[in-house]
């Protein structure tokens, strides 16, 4: 089903008046043999989509928590190929869409065509590659499109209106709206201008807009989520998974009633 599975998820949430909660985890942190348990635990906690990080030695968009998780995975010998093989093995047990977050180098080393084929075999719905600009995306997006896998695009706080329009045109899956200037990691809060930024992008976009970077609490997820189609939480999820604290992950995820209350204020 590839991209269709993700589109159906967002449509179902929209029809129910709910927002997406996309949970990031680092594949292979704690060993690749734990991946199935981690994904199913996150799914059971209430996540809408899994964003599965691929460990890389130079993760320029990641903060210290995710960098450390990647180093632990690399120390376990985890590779992009081994992750895709494991995903293909366990795909029948996973109900929610899986999106990969990788960097260009691991994909190029595997081969973009091979990557797309293996991702399709693993039922991957979308791919995020933060170090590939829109102008250079075709090398990756073309083989992915042949398997109906979305290549997720970024919009940042510094993006001009012209750039935002360019990114939105032809976007697939969802737009990843970056909420801070800098790398991933927890933040104390967000400037109020963020919410106007998210709403303006949502009004322009035909695909869902999900906000990520810096969101680490239930209240932040609730407030940010009320201004777009969903939120992405990474560093805090990685920390809690390492502590095996699934109950706290459950408490992170806003429920439909939370969003409705916040929206009415």
Residues forming the active site: 51, 62
Rounded distance between C-alpha atoms, residue 113 and residue 133, angstroms: 19
Burial class, 17, CB count within 10 angstroms (exposed 0-12 / middle 13-18 / buried 19+): exposed
Tokens of 186: 């927890």
> What beta strand segments (E) does the chain contain?
20-26, 49-53, 98-101, 124-128, 150-155, 175-178, 209-212, 230-233
Residue 175: φ, ψ to 5°: -90, 130
Task: Yes or no: say if 123 and 92 are a contact pair by the CB < 8 Å rule.
Answer: no
Determine the longest span between alpha carbons in the chain, in angstroms.
50
Task: Yes or no: say if 158 and 126 are a contact pair by the CB < 8 Å rule.
Answer: no
Residue listed under structure tokens 């366990």 = 90
Residue 182: φ, ψ to 5°: 130, -160
Q: Which own/partner pairs from 162-165 qualify as long-range (CB within 8 Å, at least 24 positions apart)?
A: 164/201, 164/204, 165/204
Residue listed under structure tokens 């091979």 = 114
């Amino acid at each position: 089903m590839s991209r269709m599975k993700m589109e159906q998820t967002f449509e179902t949430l929209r029809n129910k008046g709910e927002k997406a909660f996309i949970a990031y985890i680092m594949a292979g942190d704690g060993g690749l043999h734990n991946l199935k348990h981690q994904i199913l635990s996150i799914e059971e906690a209430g996540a809408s989509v899994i964003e599965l990080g691929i460990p890389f030695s130079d993760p320029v968009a990641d903060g210290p928590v995710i960098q450390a998780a990647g180093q632990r995975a690399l120390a376990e010998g985890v590779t992009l190929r081994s992750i895709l093989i494991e995903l293909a093995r366990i795909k029948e047990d996973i109900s929610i869409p899986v999106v990969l977050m990788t960097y260009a180098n691991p994909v190029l080393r595997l081969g973009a065509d091979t990557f797309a084929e293996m991702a399709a075999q693993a039922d991957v719905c979308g791919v995020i590659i933060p170090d590939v600009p829109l102008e250079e995306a075709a090398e990756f997006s073309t083989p992915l499109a042949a398997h109906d896998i979305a290549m997720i695009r970024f919009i940042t706080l510094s993006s001009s209106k012209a750039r935002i329009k360019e990114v939105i045109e032809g976007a697939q899956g969802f737009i990843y709206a970056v909420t801070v200037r800098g790398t991933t990691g927890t933040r104390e809060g967000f400037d109020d201008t963020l919410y106007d930024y998210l709403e303006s992008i949502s009004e322009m976009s035909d695909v869902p807009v999900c906000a990520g970077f810096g969101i680490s609490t239930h209240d932040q997820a609730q407030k940010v989520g009320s201004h777009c189609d969903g939120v992405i939480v990474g560093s805090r999820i990685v920390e809690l998974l390492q502590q095996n604290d699934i109950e706290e992950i459950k408490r992170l995820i806003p429920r439909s009633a939370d969003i409705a209350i916040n929206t009415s204020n």
